[in-house]
Structure 1
Amino acid sequence: MAKRGKRYRQAAELVATATEQAGGALPLDQAAQLVKMTGRAKFEESVDIDIRLGVDPRHADQMVRGSVALPHGTGKTVRVLVLTNEGKQAEAEAAGADMVGLDEYVDKIQNEGFTDFDVLIASPDVMPQVGRLGRVLGPRGLMPNPKSGTVTNDLAEAVEAVKAGRIDFRVDKAGIIHTSIGNVSFSDDQIRDNADAFLKEIVRLRPAAAKGLYVKSVTLSTTMGPPVPVERAAAVSATR
């Protein structure tokens, strides 16, 4: 096992002490406060959430994916590429898209492996062309999808939502959802609110085919910090 650095060990001791005093995982508000304290890197770390679900993503009826607008955004600048025909390109540009076009970007992605963007939004009429890019975009989680709101005729609304803090998510093959919900410069309340909004959406999307315990564990962590366990009750209360 690789040796942990001093900053990580100090942060891990904070988490160990807090969980020992609490007798286990922490309430969401306390976890949000503690995770900020574990951000000790020399750069501004992101705050991530990991949720282990009781689903088997190999079965289509147990897939969990979607999007959610975080109340305080992610704290990151999101680079948006919009693929659409000329008639809608001005609309996308006016809404704040960083890159807008069609043929030139399709060729660049297909032939050069271009993926220098965070979100790809496409209008439905160009999906036959975009569909050919699945081999490049799929493994990177960049393929647009109607369920996540990235295949739409309302390009302006989609671009504005992404820029304002809407994030897309999808459970991985191990049954875990991992995403960033802010950074360490956020206040405790902002981290708590974003985590709460995310948990609400995950619980709302519970597949009917998922049996038994749905939310198995929840943790918060910074980019370089140890995981802070969150009470599963936070996911239950998020629906109320």
Structure 2
Amino acid sequence: MKTFSKRFKKLKSLIEENKSYSYDEAIKLVKNMGTTQFLESVEAHISLNLDPKFSNQQLRTHLNLPNGTGKQVKIAVLTESDTNLELTKNGANIVGFEDLLDEIGKGILNFDILLTTPQYMPKLAKFGKILGPKGLMPSPKSGTVTTNLKDAVLEFKGGKVEYRADKSGIVHLNFGKINFSESQLKENLLAVYSSITKNKPTGVKGKYFKSFYICTTMSPSLLIDLSSFKP
């Protein structure tokens, strides 16, 4: 039987059993739940009525969080162009080609996002089993395959995030840090809901959202009343 710490039990006592909270109420409550000694992220976990084994029920895209995630993302760029210095000045942490491919082949993935152009995608195809499970394989839908690498680096550094539904149809997404203001977290959360709604796969039948929870990295989760997102 799973046991919980006194800290976790105390936080859980703040949540009313079987209650769904408006996103406004939930943000106020979750702001009081970051009680660890490190700066916790604030997360959304959204269960959707998807079966990703069907191509028309897959969800993988990106959105621009108005206030960023609060995390310093490490960006790698796979390119042979002579723009290495420019890309580095604009925030790219790693820029390379054969050397970067060698590291990926060895399973050395010292980055959070991998960007490249369409012409180099065939070079990455053989690394699908390494990059895929980590969600690091570049894709046009996620904005990580592009002909404008400079702008892509700037956007991802500025708060653009990629997300996808896992094999169970659940989206896991960080949308800020516990030290964000309530208004910053609300703006980001509304952007998450709006993006998932707008990118509803064509194959979805019936109800799209199953459940929508938010929490901090180390806290119990709060169920969101989906109707609170609607005007």
Q: TM range, normalised to the smaller chain?
A: over 0.9
- The residue aligned with 1:103 is 98
| 1:81 counterpart = 2:51 | no
- What TM-score do the two structures reach when normalised by structure 1? 0.92
CA distance in structure 2 between the aligned counterparts of 1:231 and 1:146, rounded to whole angstroms? 33
Between structures 1 and 2, the one with greater helix share = 1
Matched residue, 1:143: 137
Specify which of 88, 91, 109 is matched with residue 86 of structure 2: 91
Partner residue, 2:3:
3
RMSD between superposed Cα atoms in Å? 1.3
The answer to whether the 8 A contact 1:56-1:62 is kept is yes
1:234, 1:56 → 2: CA distance? 26
Tell me the residue number matched to 1:15: 15
Q: Matched residues in 2 for 1:91 and 1:130: separation?
A: 23
1:231 aligns with 2:216: no
Correspondence for 1:167 among 161, 167, 174: 161
Matched residues, number: 231
Residue 69 (structure 1) aligns with: 64
**Aligned with 2:141: secondary structure?**
helix
Aligned partner of residue 50 in structure 1, secondary structure = strand
Q: Residue 119 of structure 1: CA displacement?
A: 0.3
Distance 1:29 1:131 in 2: 43
Identity, % of aligned positions: 38
Which is further off, 93-102 or 198-207? 93-102
Counterpart in 2 of 1:59? Answer: 54
Which structure 2 segments of 5+ residues have no match? Answer: none
**Residue equivalent to 1:212:** 206
Q: Secondary structure at the match of 1:55?
A: coil
CA distance in 1, matches of 2:197, 2:55: 18
Give the CA deviation at 1:85.
Answer: 1.1
Residues 67-90 of structure 1 show CA distances to partners (whole Å, capped at 9, x for unaligned) of 001000000010000001133433
Q: What stretches of structure 1 of length at least 5 have no aligned partner? A: none
> 1:46: which partner in 2?
41
The residue identity in structure 1 corresponding to 2:57 is Q
Matched AA of 1:150: T
The offset of 1:106, in angstroms, is 0.2
How far apart, in 2, do the equivalents of 1:143 and 1:234 lie?
A: 35
SS at match of 1:219: strand
Q: Which residue of the other structure, out of 147, 152, 172, is the alignment partner of 1:153?
A: 147
Quick check: 1:85–1:126 contact (8 Å CA) kept in 2? no
